[in-house]
Amino acid sequence: MSLRTTAEHFFHAVGSSRSSALLRMGLVALCWTRFAKELLPYKHVHEPDWLVLGSLFYLSSLGLFVGFYTRASAVLLGAVLLGFRYYLGFATDHEPYVHHHVHVLIMGICFLVATPCGRSWSVDRWLALRRGAAPPERGRILGLHLMTVMLSVIYLFGTLTKLKWSFLSGERMQHSLQLLFVGSDPVTVPGWATLCLVMAWTAVVVEPAIALGIWVPRWRLRAVLLGILFHLAIYWLLPVGTFSLTMMVCYLAVFPPDEVHRFLERMAPAERVEDTG
């Protein structure tokens, strides 16, 4: 495949909207998990900036979840989340909103704008069907490709940040786990240092394997399964909040959407109505 053909496929490819719709609902649910409780109006009665952004968050996230004016809702929610990060986060020094885990979730929402996520399982589609003018469940999937790039970049740069002796020696892993599980008390578990060394090197090997594997069709499923196990382990051991779940939801973007569509059809085939007359 030539460079020009690859570029045309990346920017102009068309595919089923089913996987984009699943991403739409999954990422909005994660946004609610991460932000909704903190944005309840009674918590910010005397903070008009929080009240305005919070109200827009609830409005746009609900619209995006149910697929009502889907693209406009995605644009608005993306803008609101960027406001959380750059205004409430950096400008007002609200540290939780500047964390890179939050940024990954925000970028996932922003990339939905470049997907046909409102053409399946949405109020928009239901209304179009009632008018007798429903568009096909297909559209340009640039946003899915951008999500896949995002995943690879996260894993590759995550690996680069670990290529230091403090991490490769297992000492940083020991320090992090010790603080979380036993505090300042010394760890007396036999083989503790060796275990942490193995865990550190496992992360250094697994992350680039996922970053590259998701681009190779015959390795893609194995890379995703490896990534799911990796993130479940991280979620179990470390306080990463919604990060692991965000990454696992975004794995939907790495599979060709038409393959996802066919898989869903096999899992839930339409029932046949037999003629009894």
A 10 A CB-CB count for 225 gives 13
Strands (E), 112-234: 138-140
Band (58; pLDDT cuts 50, 70, 90): very high
How far is 117 from 253, CA to CA, in rounded Å? 12
Cross-strand partners of 140? 14
Report DSSP letters for 64-100, one per residue: HHHTSSHHHHHHHHHHHHHHIIIIIIIITT-GGGGSH
In sequence order, what are the residues at sequence separation of 6 or more whose Cβ sits closer than 8 angstroms to the Cβ of residue 276? none
Band (274; pLDDT cuts 50, 70, 90): very low
A 10 A CB-CB count for 78 gives 20
Cβ-contact 107, 91 below 8 angstroms = no
How far is 146 from 82, CA to CA, in rounded Å? 18
pTM score: 0.91
User: Given this model, what pLDDT does residue 270 score?
Assistant: 57
User: Given this model, what pLDDT does residue 1 score?
Assistant: 58
Average pLDDT over residues 234-246: 92
Residue 269 has pLDDT above 80, yes or no: no
| Per-domain residue ranges of the chain | 13-140, 146-255
More confident residue, 255 or 1: 255
Average pLDDT over residues 234-256: 94
Residue 184 has pLDDT above 80, yes or no: no
Strands (E), 9-128: 14-16
Q: Give the range among 78-87, 156-165, 187-196 with minimum mean pLDDT.
A: 187-196
Cβ-contact 32, 24 below 8 angstroms = no
